[in-house]
Amino acid sequence: MKTILITGSSGLIGSEVCTYFGALGYTVHGLDNNQRAVFFGQGGDTRWNQHRLETTLRDYHHHEHDVRDRAAVLALVNSIRPSAIVHAAAQPSHDLAASIPFEDFDTNASGTLNLLEAARRFCPESPFVYMSTNKVYGDRPNSIKLIELETRWDYDDPAYASGIAEDLSIDRSTHSLFGASKVAADVMTQEYGRYFGMPTCCLRGGCLTGPNHSGVVLHGFLSYLIKCNVEGRDYCVFGYKGKQVRDNIHSFDVAAFIHAFVEAPRSGEVYNLGGGRDNSCSILEAFALVESRTGKAQRHKYSDVARVGDHICYYSDLARMKQHYPNWTITKNLGQTIDEIVASWDTRSSAQG
Ligand SMILES: NC(=O)c1ccc[n+]([C@@H]2O[C@H](COP(=O)([O-])OP(=O)(O)OC[C@H]3O[C@@H](n4cnc5c(N)ncnc54)[C@H](O)[C@@H]3O)[C@@H](O)[C@H]2O)c1
């Protein structure tokens, strides 16, 4: 019987991975303490998603622990000895980190170390997937020559025609405290692969999205933007004329890649994981895509002040993932992903009255 431990199981990625592996017949252990509601308030509450897993998965076990609780993490991994670990619990917001530096670092960096060390002690052969972020590159992508087009920025350098690859420097750039705590965890995950030979990988996510995100102003760009449209609220654009570009990948395709890695793990790997150029959009383009589906004009405000360390244009070069895992591919395009998120907010917003 195969078992998997998934941290951040009530969040966007964690819940999708629970569902994916549950459908494959795994016994699924989720760890989440609804910390997202502590970070972001009511809008970030993930209990609804935990209950969804508890009622829809056949063999799901929820553990109400905090990844910062070293003793609890060690005891849990010792008792389960999972055949794979997916670590998706995090303080995920770039902007929030500056106001809660200890909580951010303790969760992102120390929490990851707790899991890695637990894995080394009790299940060192089990694939370990860490959800990292493209913010490990800090604002380095902004030093690439850009061209301003009518609705977006784009790279004006043929070296980046397919996007950003894993060899971009993570050094000497502005990351935000969030980016720095994620770098610590990313490098530590690589080290447990390189130093101890464990099957670890870091997935440096672009915009990971999908219908089960509890999108809030400080995290979950596309989910929150669509929520604002559906509920008729203002969405605030921060700088760059709304032409800043993100690449969006559906959480299902993230889970499918994690499965591919678990089936054929490598050691100390790093992959840039996003929607790639084909699934990229600027904020202005996202407005138009959403409006065309809901029929509602996107209300918005504009602030000249860009977020510190924000990317002007970022899309992932997926070549390394595809080279190592040729059977993996993106199955959901941006239009389908937006359709699913719109449908989800229609249901959730009307249920909340
Ligand atoms: N969503 C994105 O666009 C994106 C982009 C790049 C990287 N990532 C990374 O992917 C991972 C998953 O992101 P997500 O969008 O699913 O986030 P999410 O906030 O939806 O899910 C994270 C879950 O972790 C839980 N959690 C947080 N702190 C915890 C703690 N101390 N102990 C136990 N549980 C805790 C939260 O309650 C939440 O349910 C994170 O590591 C994030 O940094 C996400």
Query: Does the beta carbon of 258 sit less than 6 angstroms from any atom of ligand 1?
Result: no
Please tell me the predicted confidence (pLDDT) of residue 353. Answer: 61
pLDDT 10s digits, 274-307: 999 999 999 999 999 999 999 999 999 999 999 8
Output the pLDDT for position 348.
Answer: 82
For residue 107, report the distance from its CA to the centre of ligand 1, in Å.
Answer: 10
Under the banding of pLDDT at 50, 70 and 90, the label for residue 351 is confident
Q: What is the mean pLDDT of residues 33-49?
A: 95
DSSP conformation class of 85: E
For residue 91, what are the contacts with CB-CB under 8 A and spacing of at least 6? 35, 39, 97, 100, 103, 104, 107, 108, 178, 181
Amino acid symbol at 133: T
Q: Which ligand 1 atom is at minimum distance from the Cα of 13? A: 16
> Does 352 have pLDDT greater than 80?
no
- The CA 220 to ligand 1 mean position distance, Å, reads 10
The average confidence (pLDDT) of the chain is 96
Q: What is the distance between the alpha carbons of residues 129 and 189, in angstroms, rounded to a whole number?
A: 9
User: Does the beta carbon of 66 sit less than 6 angstroms from any atom of ligand 1?
Assistant: yes
* Residues in the chain, total: 353
> What is the reported pLDDT for 218?
84
Residue 315: both structure tokens together: 């899309």
Closest CA to 249 of 218, 296, 210, 302: 210
Facing residues of 28 across strands?
A: 4, 60
Pocket test for ligand 1, best of 5, 6, 7, 12 (most atoms within 8 A of CB): 12
Handedness of CA 36, 79, 257, 186 (dihedral sign): positive
Ligand 1 nearest-atom number relative to CA 182: 43
In angstroms, what is the span from residue 148 Cα to ligand 1's centroid?
32
Is the CB of 68 inside a 6 Å radius of any atom of ligand 1? yes
pLDDT in tens, 172-191: 999 999 999 999 999 999 99
Distance between CA atoms of 93 and 108, rounded to whole angstroms?
11
Task: Give pLDDT, residue 139.
Answer: 96
Contact indicator for 188, 129 with CB cutoff of 8 Å: no
- pLDDT above 90 covers a percentage of the chain that reads 94
> For the CA atoms of the chain, what is the radius of gyration?
19
What is the model's pLDDT at position 276?
97
Indicate if the alpha-carbon torsion angle 69, 260, 195, 125 is positive or negative: positive
Whether 152 shows a pLDDT value over 70: the answer reads yes
Closest atom of ligand 1 relative to the 14 alpha carbon = 16
Check if 208 has its Cβ closer than 6 Å to any atom of ligand 1: yes
Q: How far is CA 225 from the centre of its chain?
A: 16
Considering only CA atoms, which residue is closest to atom 12 of ligand 1? 88
Establish whether residue 210 lines the binding site of ligand 1, counting it when its CB lies within 6 angstroms of any ligand atom. no
Our answer on whether the CB atom of 82 is closer than 6 Å to any ligand 1 atom is no
Q: Is the CB of 67 under 6 A from ligand 1?
A: yes
Residue 16 tokens, joined:
């999708």
Among candidate residues 271, 276, 275, 277, the one with its CA nearest the CA of residue 258: 271
347 Cβ contact partners less than 8 Å away, ≥ 6 residues apart: none
Instruction: Over range 318-340, report the average pLDDT.
Output: 97
Pick from 13, 67, 164 the residue to mutate for probing ligand 1's pocket: most ligand atoms within 8 Å of its CB.
13
Atom of ligand 1 lying closest to residue 87 CA: 41
Gap between the Cα atoms of 128 and 193, Å rounded: 9
- 35: Cβ below 6 Å to ligand 1? yes
Residues 6+ apart with CB under 8 A from 121: 74, 77, 78
pLDDT of residue 308: 86
What is the four-CA torsion angle of 152, 156, 160, 162, rounded to 10 degrees? 50
For the segment 221-279, what is each residue's pLDDT rounded down to a tens digit?
Answer: 899 999 999 999 999 999 999 999 999 999 999 999 999 999 999 999 999 999 999 99
pLDDT of residue 350: 77
- Range name among 30-34, 71-75, 324-328, 344-348 with the lowest pLDDT average: 344-348
* Closest ligand 1 atom number to CA of residue 37: 37
Please give the Cα distance from 70 to 121 (Å, whole number): 13
Given the CA of residue 38, which atom of ligand 1 is nearest to it? 37
